């Protein structure tokens, strides 16, 4: 694939791409923006300096969202290199930084971890061997020839970003034209997650299908993408539009941009949008898939919805992964792929019936255990104390112990015998990370509290309770001759 010769169009009679090797070409008309498929460029060093890398997370915490994070800079001095031109894109326009390589005239190869825009300049953040930093500085002597390049992984990253970025332009244009829905914001998330645009309201399934069908009709037509650049008129800087709610829509130029270039990305017959990002020269390979739902988001005095989308390499990855999941599920269920939904529905219904039957049997067993304990309590005046341990691998061992406790308390209500019962449950196979469940039930809340406090202090049980019940959990292996013996001792000490 090659970039069309008319992809980059200068629409001003006075604008020229600087040819003077001693100055840097401003962001807006860099080689990576003139030819987004360019992988290698010979250029000249303008400036190089040592810089201390900023912290990866300025507030000390990593955010939880899926937005693309720039590759982490090492916590040591790095080189900031400015060249006459570059094929490595500095982050901007909602598009993350490229990664890449720089080969110097002396044959050394340096990794570019990030590229950022400083004013109008593209600055490469170059990793250098700290034991040989002086030699690295010599390699980047101003005026020396270097080659900026994108390796395979670097270009794959760029291609993914371009695919999603161009798809976002197409999607936003159609949402506006067909449904009068402005794009409030968008996020280019980390590969291979779906990206999203935010719109003012939830969309129906029919609306989503309408937009997807129209987008793919244009994709099949292979609409061209190109850029137009001219000098930036400082008196006509475009400001973001504002909704009635006061929320800004889209973006204006960054306040610190000093490049003097106004750049517009055009999808032929579909969209014109100011943007400094890299975009594919055609949408012909960008079949768009919209996830058939929107998530509602609420923010202070307004609300919006997120529409998720996939295209390009992410769509291929998504389809491959989905097919793999479906094939594995079909294999496990021993049916064909097309029968998986019906078979899953059948398994779920059978599991519900089985769970219901297990619950019924557990309740019968709990009542039987309770009845046996009640039969043992023969003295109406003496405190009845018992410790009962169960091996239980069910998903809700506490529920089973609660059933025993409830049945026992209900039956003991017919007698005046005071009682204190400690119930424990542990899995059949135990490890140091296993958890044992403990429940205490009694006829007097003081007795229950006394037993609970002793369990916490002697067995390191974490738990609590109010009134006539107390429950807790203990991590580790539960051994009857050890932990069970301690429970017996605790009960014997309570009068």
- Choose among 187, 102, 99, 179: nearest CA to 144: 102
3-state class of 116 per DSSP? Answer: strand
295: confidence class by pLDDT, cuts 50, 70, 90 = confident
- 440 near 387, Cβ under 8 Å? no
Look at residue 242 and tell me whether its pLDDT is greater than 60. no
**What integer pLDDT is reported at residue 59 of this predicted model?**
53
Domain C-terminal end among 121, 155, 189? 155
| Rounded distance between C-alpha atoms, residue 485 and residue 489, angstroms | 6
CATH number, domain with residue 254: 3.30.980.10
For the whole prediction, is pTM greater than 0.95?
no
**What integer pLDDT is reported at residue 394 of this predicted model?**
86
Quick one: CA dihedral 448, 449, 453, 456, positive or negative?
positive
Look at residue 11 and tell me whether its pLDDT is greater than 80. yes
One domain for residues 190 and 268? yes
444: confidence class by pLDDT, cuts 50, 70, 90 = very high
**What integer pLDDT is reported at residue 476 of this predicted model?**
93
Look at residue 178 and tell me whether its pLDDT is greater than 90. yes
3-state class of 100 per DSSP? Answer: strand
Structure tokens at 426: 């542990």
Average pLDDT over residues 30-36: 97
In a domain, 424, yes or no: yes
- 126 near 113, Cβ under 8 Å? yes
Predicted confidence (pLDDT) per residue in 376-410, tens digit: 886 667 899 999 999 998 888 999 999 999 999 99
Average pLDDT over residues 229-257: 61
Look at residue 281 and tell me whether its pLDDT is greater than 60. yes
Strand segments, DSSP code E, in 65-203 are: 77-83, 100-104, 109-118, 121-127, 145-149, 185-187, 195-199
- 278 near 95, Cβ under 8 Å? yes
240: confidence class by pLDDT, cuts 50, 70, 90 = low
Question: Roughly what angle, to the nearest 10 degrees, separates helices 397-412 and 340-376?
Answer: 40
One domain for residues 151 and 276? no
130: confidence class by pLDDT, cuts 50, 70, 90 = confident
Could you give the number of structural domains in the chain?
3
In a domain, 60, yes or no: no
Least confident range from 126-135, 215-224, 278-287: namely: 126-135
Percentage of residues in the chain having pLDDT higher than 70: 90
CB burial readout 261-289, b (16+ within 10 A) else e = bbbbbbbeebbebebbbbbbbbbeebbbb
Would you call 298 exposed, middle or buried from its count of C-beta atoms within 10 A (0-12, 13-18, 19+)? exposed
Residues paired with 470 in a beta bridge: 440
In a domain, 181, yes or no: yes
3-state class of 310 per DSSP? Answer: strand
**What integer pLDDT is reported at residue 489 of this predicted model?**
92
- 226 near 7, Cβ under 8 Å? yes
Look at residue 462 and tell me whether its pLDDT is greater than 90. yes
One domain for residues 418 and 399? yes
Look at residue 435 and tell me whether its pLDDT is greater than 50. yes
State the residue range of the domain holding 105: 18-53+65-155
Helix (H) or strand (E) holding 307: strand 302-310
């Amino acid at each position: 694939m090659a970039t069309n010769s008319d992809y980059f169009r200068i629409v001003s009679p006075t604008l020229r791409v600087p040819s003077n090797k001693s100055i840097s070409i401003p962001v807006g008309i860099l080689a990576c923006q003139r030819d987004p498929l360019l992988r290698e460029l010979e250029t000249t060093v303008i400036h190089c300096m040592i810089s201390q890398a900023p912290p990866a997370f300025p507030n000390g915490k990593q955010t939880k969202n899926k937005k693309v994070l720039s590759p982490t800079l090492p916590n040591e001095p790095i080189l900031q290199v400015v060249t006459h031109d570059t094929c490595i894109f500095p982050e901007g326009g909602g598009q993350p930084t490229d990664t890449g390589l720089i080969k110097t005239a002396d044959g050394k190869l340096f990794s570019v971890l990030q590229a950022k825009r400083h004013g109008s300049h593209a600055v490469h953040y170059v990793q250098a061997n700290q034991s040989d930093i002086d030699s690295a500085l010599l390699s980047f002597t101003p005026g020396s020839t270097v080659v900026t390049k994108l390796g395979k992984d670097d270009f794959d990253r760029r291609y993914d970003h371009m695919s999603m970025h161009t798809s976002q332009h197409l999607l936003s244009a159609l949402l506006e034209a067909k449904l009068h829905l402005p794009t409030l914001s968008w996020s280019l998330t980390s590969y291979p997650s779906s990206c999203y645009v935010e719109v003012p309201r939830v969309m129906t399934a029919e609306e989503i299908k309408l937009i997807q069908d129209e987008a793919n009709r244009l994709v099949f037509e292979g609409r061209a993408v190109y850029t137009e650049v001219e000098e930036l008129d400082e008196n006509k800087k475009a400001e973001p539009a504002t909704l009635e709610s006061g929320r800004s829509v889209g973006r204006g130029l960054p306040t610190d941009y000093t490049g003097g270039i106004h750049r517009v990305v055009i999808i032929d017959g579909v969209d014109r949008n100011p943007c400094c990002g890299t975009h594919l020269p055609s949408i012909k390979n960008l079949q768009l898939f919209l996830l058939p739902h929107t998530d509602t988001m609420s923010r202070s005095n307004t609300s919006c919805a997120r529409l998720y989308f996939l295209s390009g390499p992410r769509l291929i990855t998504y389809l491959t992964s989905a097919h793999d999941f479906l094939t594995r599920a079909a294999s496990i269920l021993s049916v064909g792929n097309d029968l998986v939904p019906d078979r899953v529905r059948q398994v779920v219904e059978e599991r519900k019936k089985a769970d219901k039957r297990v619950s019924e049997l557990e309740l019968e067993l709990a009542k039987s255990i309770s009845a046996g304990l009640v039969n043992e309590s023969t003295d109406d005046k003496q405190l009845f104390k018992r410790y009962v341990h169960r091996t239980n691998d069910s998903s809700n061992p506490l529920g089973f112990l609660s059933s025993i406790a409830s049945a026992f308390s209900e039956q003991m209500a017919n007698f005046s015998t005071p009682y204190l019962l400690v119930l424990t449950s542990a899995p059949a196979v135990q490890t140091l990370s296993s958890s044992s469940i403990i429940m205490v039930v009694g006829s007097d809340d003081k007795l229950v509290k006394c037993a609970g406090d002793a369990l916490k202090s002697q067995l390191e049980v974490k738990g609590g309770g109010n009134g006539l019940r107390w429950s807790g959990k203990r991590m580790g292996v539960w051994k009857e001759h050890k932990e069970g013996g301690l429970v017996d001792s605790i009960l014997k000490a309570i009068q």
